Structure 1
């Protein structure tokens, strides 16, 4: 249920078209009063419209059209920036609504399958106390606690951590979050959230209700724009009496159509005022503040206010509590490291075989890496005779295959080493340093012993 980032620039035609109704609604003076520069432009546009209707000329209508376009463009720039944030929230809401839940009716702990029945409902219809079952590859439909089973869960969509976590009934590892994905096994979850109070709902509220608090720089710039607007407004107002005086003064007869018996025409005065005041800065001021938060939203980062975005501009050192915040959501195999005299090709062959029954992203990446790096085609489980495949589970933390007298296992280093010892084998001496080195560098520790005695695997052809 990972929400796809909402992109698109200011000149995206579809985004402009969707934002036009919002831009027109912002023409309401009760909304526009927060931007005094554009409010004056709107008042001037209304004034020139009246003059153009009473005394229509090409010049009057051109000025009127340009003034209205200026106001609409200013509102459109802000509406586009706000619209992309709303689109991100809509994407989250759509993903939530499309999540389906397998609700269990009459379920009790330890009950057999014939003692309860299952029905499929939409995730938003779940109520507090409902029991749902989630299997490998399915999305957990709501926040809750695991009441039966154990599973490996991918929580990267919520926490940003790429490593799957184990969730099981009882203890302090039973809580699960709606929108996360079960990678293996099967769990039964009791929903603990109330309708509209899930983690996804709170995330949607953050995106839609991001505080448009003005930053100190924006407040200072607003004060400057308001002061300049007042100064230029007073200057333009004085032009009318001066023009009348110049027109009627003895010996002064300016030859211009802009001055008539009543002085300078109103359309010329409004045009001059709009040209003098900082219209462009005022038009884009709100859009600039929102655009900073919008660019973060496109990268799935929530900025609570413009003040936070502005403060982030002064940051030159960023400390993160985990690498999953800035890494790919799914871990992927990148290299095969042979030990005990084996070749990388032999390790790749054994790793691919033992990963055929592993449906997790890591298992699939091992198969792909063996194919791309060593030309080993992915072999279908049904096409390998006399092979017994062992799927990956959260309990064993291993997957593998028993074939031609060999037992090949792949999984967490600690789990595989224990399996080897339990079967009477022992690990090669150089396995420990390799595993510790990978772990220290931030990688994940995988190991492939070929049999219960940890003898070298032979290529299977």
Structure 2
């Protein structure tokens, strides 16, 4: 498994994400949120009605274990659906935070009048020249103008094999957030602050909204149809048994 895959798994299983997801699973019981998923919304209504029935049974000293089990399973279904959705949202936020930290905590060796100075990567501007040695994280998007080096781009592309970046030709472009594995290169920054590839990735992750797959849409339509039929049948029962 490559580094990106391992990092994604670690982001998925952190205590902070799970803890926040547990809280969100109850917050999402808000009808205004549940109604966005018709099937779960109907299940939530069923859980509420069953809870009322169980409460009345307890009040009348006529407790039913069967009704109680139905109530528990319905609430479990609703909460688990909310929990799964919250986990997905929390994972996206964690990925964005991880990318943001890798950007803000990176330092760069900027060349100013042939003198080297250490600055934060966020202080770099388009046209600045920086030096990257083996073990350094490339601070910003740019082009190699001097030298040749092996670069690890797995943090961005997921590809574990290092690539060669050198001045001239079509292999001169480097991406901020990647790591120099060997040798020394001089890079000219080609992106404005806040408009790097890493910044765009963060914006995409934060603004991303997961689209339902065709199978999910088909299942929702099927379950919604069956739910409507069930409700119509239940509503007609009193008139039938008159």
TM-score category (smaller protein): 0.7 to 0.9
Shift of 1:86: 3.6
Aligned to 2:33, which of 31, 34, 48? 31
- Tell me how far apart the structure 2 counterparts of residues 236 and 31 of structure 1 sit (CA, whole Å): 26
Please show how residues 348-359 of structure 1 align to structure 2 within 5 Å: none
- Tell me how far apart the structure 2 counterparts of residues 21 and 161 of structure 1 sit (CA, whole Å): 36
Contact kept in structure 2, 1:6 and 1:87, CA below 8 Å: no
- Tell me how far apart the structure 2 counterparts of residues 229 and 9 of structure 1 sit (CA, whole Å): 37
Shift of 1:228: 0.4
Residues 9, 213 of structure 1: CA spacing in aligned structure 2 closer, same or farther, 3 A cutoff?
A: same
Shift of 1:174: 3.5
Residues 176, 8 of structure 1: CA spacing in aligned structure 2 closer, same or farther, 3 A cutoff?
A: closer
Contact kept in structure 2, 1:42 and 1:68, CA below 8 Å: yes
- Tell me how far apart the structure 1 counterparts of residues 58 and 225 of structure 2 sit (CA, whole Å): 34
Matching residue of 2:132: 134
Q: Structure 1 unaligned segments of length 5 or more: list them.
A: 246-461
Q: TM-score, normalised by structure 1?
A: 0.43
Matching residue of 2:110: 103
**Structure 1 or 2: larger helix share?**
2
Contact kept in structure 2, 1:26 and 1:75, CA below 8 Å: yes
- Tell me how far apart the structure 1 counterparts of residues 221 and 20 of structure 2 sit (CA, whole Å): 32
Q: Structure 2 unaligned segments of length 5 or more: list them.
A: none
Q: Secondary structure at the match of 1:6?
A: helix
- Tell me how far apart the structure 1 counterparts of residues 118 and 219 of structure 2 sit (CA, whole Å): 59
- Tell me how far apart the structure 1 counterparts of residues 20 and 212 of structure 2 sit (CA, whole Å): 26
- Tell me how far apart the structure 1 counterparts of residues 235 and 58 of structure 2 sit (CA, whole Å): 23
Q: Secondary structure at the match of 2:103?
A: helix
Please show how residues 264-343 of structure 1 align to structure 2 within 5 Å: none
Shift of 1:191: 1.9
Matching residue of 2:226: 228
Matched, 1:187 2:194: no
1:388-432 Cα distance to aligned partner (Å, 9 max, x none): xxxxxxxxxxxxxxxxxxxxxxxxxxxxxxxxxxxxxxxxxxxxx
- Tell me how far apart the structure 2 counterparts of residues 153 and 9 of structure 1 sit (CA, whole Å): 28
Shift of 1:209: 4.4
Contact kept in structure 2, 1:154 and 1:162, CA below 8 Å: no
- Tell me how far apart the structure 2 counterparts of residues 9 and 59 of structure 1 sit (CA, whole Å): 43
Cα RMSD after superposing both structures: 3.4
Please show how residues 210-249 of structure 1 align to structure 2 within 5 Å: 210-241=208-239, 245=242
Shift of 1:150: 0.7
1:252-302 Cα distance to aligned partner (Å, 9 max, x none): xxxxxxxxxxxxxxxxxxxxxxxxxxxxxxxxxxxxxxxxxxxxxxxxxxx
Q: TM-score, normalised by structure 2?
A: 0.75
Q: Secondary structure at the match of 1:34?
A: coil
Contact kept in structure 2, 1:127 and 1:194, CA below 8 Å: yes
Q: Secondary structure at the match of 1:219?
A: helix
Matching residue of 2:150: 153
- Tell me how far apart the structure 1 counterparts of residues 192 and 58 of structure 2 sit (CA, whole Å): 62
- Tell me how far apart the structure 1 counterparts of residues 212 and 182 of structure 2 sit (CA, whole Å): 47
Matching residue of 2:79: 72
Contact kept in structure 2, 1:38 and 1:71, CA below 8 Å: yes
Residues 69, 240 of structure 1: CA spacing in aligned structure 2 closer, same or farther, 3 A cutoff?
A: farther
- Tell me how far apart the structure 2 counterparts of residues 219 and 166 of structure 1 sit (CA, whole Å): 44
Shift of 1:208: 4.3
